[in-house]
Amino acid sequence: MRVFLVAGELSGDILGSGLMREMKARHGTVEFRGIGGPRMMAEGLDVLYPLETLSVMGLVEVLKHLPRLIGVRRHLRRAALEWHSDVMVGIDAPDFNLGLERQLRNTGMKTAHYVSPSVWAWRQGRVKTIREAVDQMLTFLPFEAGFYEQHKVPVTFVGHPLADELPLDNDRRAAREALGIAADAKLLAVLPGSRGNEIRYLGPTFIDTIKWLRQELPDLEVVIPAATPMRRSELETLGASTLNVHLLDSRSWEAMTAADAVLLASGTAALEAMLCHRPMVVAYKMAPMTHTIAKRMVKTQWISLPNLIARETLVPELIQDQATPESIGAALLPLLTDETANTELTQRFRAMHVDLQRNASARAADAVLALGRSSSRQAMP
């Protein structure tokens, strides 16, 4: 069987390598070709372009590189056809991959897309393009699968790889010992985001929230995992290093596992906190014009993944003008003091973790192999 894979960034390389490993375990003669990084190469990918080929961010940058990207897609289409691929799998990078998937599907090749774009949240009209592009959408989250079923797109819910990676039973004591935090301390983990703009808009508010909380809980310990050295430098400039906090280089899972509660920017970190079974408050700020546009475009009641998965408000969400130090602090205070309420939420998060823990790479491999076996080339005598 021949599988053509196109990943666009580091996270796609991680997903692609897991998919390839599980496919080889199930189908000993499978071959791979396309775009990937070092992990996919180690699993046997015949690389036509390096991983960073598609790593272009921002409207202006995309327009600048558009002729090159069109050329790359044209070459990949030709390469997949000449190689007589049984199935093509686009891994994330939807703006690039969905177009390639549609072109190849129109020739009769089977196609799958791994990692759903947020079509359920905004630009829902894209579902028509997706329906034309893929024979199978592979989703991380159950509500995504429900959206595609509603819109007549073949879909497989595979579970979330993070849920497979993070343990169901968290050792908080060990995490605290590793961070040098006393077992009986009240501990808040603060994750202000991995992007510069997130630190710019949320950083000062989060710093002031820590100050507000310490007026109520003078002995409160705070740990802040910085996503990158640049983010750490920006947090130090904002005054984090003068607040007697534990400023870490990464180690976000350890910090969240150790904490009594978590304050974070909306994004993947909210899912990670849920999988660490920690109560949290989600806040987000952005440029005023961006917020005005986003309010018109986003079609969901919630922005954080725990609430989206549960389809109810389990986690407080404070957005834009609501995200003040006083309102964030008031939402965090009971999470830091009410152990009974935390126990109930922890149990709910654990159940959600179980639901997402499906061995995602193996389920994705089964779905792709099923497509490959149904291809016209495999059916030939």
**Are domains 2-159+358-379 and 172-356 of this chain identical in fold?**
yes
Q: What is the pLDDT of residue 266?
A: 80
Question: Which parts of the chain register pLDDT below 50?
Answer: 57-61, 381
pLDDT of residue 54: 77
| pLDDT score, position 381 | 45
- Measured between alpha carbons, how far is residue 345 from residues 210, 260, 314, 339, 352 in Å? 23, 12, 8, 10, 11
**pLDDT, tens only, 124-178:** 778 999 999 999 999 999 989 999 999 999 999 999 999 999 999 999 999 999 9
Is domain 172-356 in CATH 3.40.50.2000, yes or no?
yes
d(CA 226, CA 277): 21
CATH number of 2-159+358-379: 3.40.50.2000
What's the pLDDT score for residue 198?
A: 83
Residue boundaries of the structural domains of the chain: 2-159+358-379, 172-356
E strands within the chain?
2-7, 31-36, 45-50, 87-91, 110-114, 136-139, 155-157, 187-191, 221-226, 246-249, 261-265, 280-284, 317-319
pLDDT of residue 59: 43
How does pLDDT run across 74-132, given as a tens digit for each residue?
A: 999 999 999 999 999 999 888 899 999 999 999 999 999 999 988 876 667 789 999 99
